[in-house]
Amino acid sequence: MTNKPLVIVTRKLPDAIETRMRELFNTELNLDDTPMSPAQLADAVKRADIIVPTLTDRLDSRIISQAGPQLKLIANFGTGVDHIDVDTALQRGIAVTNTPGVLTEDTADMTMALILAVPRRLAEGVDSLRAGEWKGWSPTWLLGHRIYGKRLGIVGMGRIGQAVARRAKAFGLQIHYHNRRRVGEDIEDALEATYWESLDQMLARMDIISVNCPHTPATFHLLSARRLKLLQPHAYVVNTARGEIIDENALTRMLVAEELAGAGLDVFEHEPAVNPKLLNLPNVVLLPHMGSATIEGRIDMGEKVIINIKTFVDGHTPPDRVIPSML
């Protein structure tokens, strides 16, 4: 591409990133930040040389099959690519990139915040104070559970899972994990982590479960109704990965029936829709998918997108190219 490629950005990005994109490329921005409809996405892939989608844009085979011959790169603004049919894109000669690594610490911070907030009943305390219910200190009011010494089971020991483990170890939690591949002995030693080949066996023995794996066809409802039943009644579930990894209806039923102690959820199976029953549970902390929502993180993501596009336009392999074997 000798001329500036037409880059279509599907959502509002940080000003500094949009300005730099305008300088480098022929860029169409979404200034009002309204998610594109399927028809608008279809129009975008028909016209763009490069499209920059986010997790709210479902680029399935039906959309990608309408792409014009000039579309050669889908430069995703985000790490997860479960909203993109990567196989169909590659079959049509369209490369896909993402932004790994830059959100690790932010997401791990939010995971740790939920690991603290749910057992210590922080949201209940805030609600009570705002409702004017607090009458002063009491030795038996709003008692939670200490996390020191408890067993944390991490589902998915990639970058984020390891970052969560580092934080949790500092808080005195015992680190356990299940991963499709065992991590290196040096990592296990540093984290004092115990590996479980069987997810079922790990779930049955943990005090807190943290979901930190990507959403792929293999991890859809990985925490199924059957697996959730393996958890002990005093256990807590924290999810900052993707809502589809947990059977949300089954989780909700168990929380309502007090078969679990509580949950901290930053993601939902059908977001932005949230199961109304979850909204009314006092032992659940709910966040609006803000695990990676820091100014620094969003700028870092945008800079990675720009590097991927610039490298691709210059005729080189982008540093963050997604290959199916990685998923």
The catalytic residue positions are: 242, 271, 289
Beta bridge partners of 307: none
Do 238 and 210 form a contact (C-beta atoms < 8 A)? Answer: yes
- The owner of tokens 């104070």 is 129
Angstrom distance (rounded) from CA 212 to CA 154: 7
